[in-house]
Structure 1
């Protein structure tokens, strides 16, 4: 069974059930806490900068409540032609997003932060990374897009599609160096960060 070495408290700073499921694959004991931050992009901020800033803010917000812990923060920003695509919030906005993206390539920036407060909250070790995923949407008619939305209702997802669910049927191609990044938590990048923080996955 994998373990934390040296012993440490590992916290996932997220309210996402998908990120929780992904982290559980590593077999490490962890807690979940939901950060309360303003996720609005700053004026003139690039999509990558927004994702990285929010991932770090989420981790930092949780670390303030849990000193001496390892805190994971992650954020995702979808972009089309350089413009950010937010969470639609309702059916009409989601349909408009999918209509705009059909037949097009959308870039998803999934930022990851590991905040290591074991050396003290005033001198933490912070690792940051941004994983890009290139997603091509199928060129589907309005009726199919509308039907998909009514079935899955992905109104809390940037890009209006859940690739871990039925949304995979409206995608044509996914290209990324980290296969779980699109779902919200890039595990290849994360395991690298945890290794650098001296976390062992294969203790006997």
Structure 2
């Protein structure tokens, strides 16, 4: 049954994204999109990330046509390719050993599906330089965080931040998977303003 209140639905089951959206103090519901996230061959990171964010928003908007739906996605690129979710400890350790000391980029996309058919999209890039890491540091991080569902094994909302030398971004929340500056702007454009709620 379509939701009428609250007017906003987050198309993600991510606890981190819920915590970020909570900062805007807007009532919302959660309905994870559960889409096929298979990447097309040679699909650029920015394009893939935006496509998946939009697919998530559209999937949930189809279930709740009267709501504003927010979808998001994040990917990590390195040396022109994409680093996916490792799935297990051994792959996570290998990924982190490969990117240690390297420049990487987090691509973060959001897409807002509006009841009037509009789609509002945004793509953000966070550039980062990884620290040189010892095998012991990598093993300890993987043991603690178990980042098997994180692109490139980088759980940036947790201990993953200790793996990074520096980050450059226009939005400090982007690295966590949802750039709040852009999110607030797109929601205003969709008719939901955190500073003008009844």
**Under TM normalisation by the shorter chain, which class is it?**
over 0.9
Q: Distance in 2 between matches of 1:77 and 1:14?
A: 15
Equivalent residue of 1:130, what SS? Answer: strand
Residue number among 155, 163, 167 corresponding to 1:162 in the alignment: 155
Q: Distance in 2 between matches of 1:66 and 1:52?
A: 21
Residue number among 63, 66, 75 corresponding to 1:65 in the alignment: 63
Alignment gaps of 5+ in structure 2: none
Residue number among 182, 185, 189 corresponding to 1:189 in the alignment: 182
Aligned to 2:122: 129
Moved over 3 A (4+): none
Return the structure number with greater helix share. 2
**Is the 1:134–1:175 contact (alpha carbons within 8 Å) kept by the matching residues of 2?**
yes
Equivalent residue of 2:60, what SS? Answer: helix
Alignment gaps of 5+ in structure 1: 1-6
Aligned to 1:149: 142
Q: How many residues align?
A: 193
Q: Distance in 2 between matches of 1:199 and 1:161?
A: 32
RMSD: 1.2
Scaled by the length of structure 1, what TM-score is found?
A: 0.91
**Is the 1:8–1:70 contact (alpha carbons within 8 Å) kept by the matching residues of 2?**
no
Residues 56-97 of structure 1: CA deviation (Å, up to 9, x unaligned):
000000000001110000011110011000000110000010
Equivalent residue of 2:151, what SS? Answer: coil
Offset, 1:8: 6.2
Q: Distance in 2 between matches of 1:188 and 1:116?
A: 19
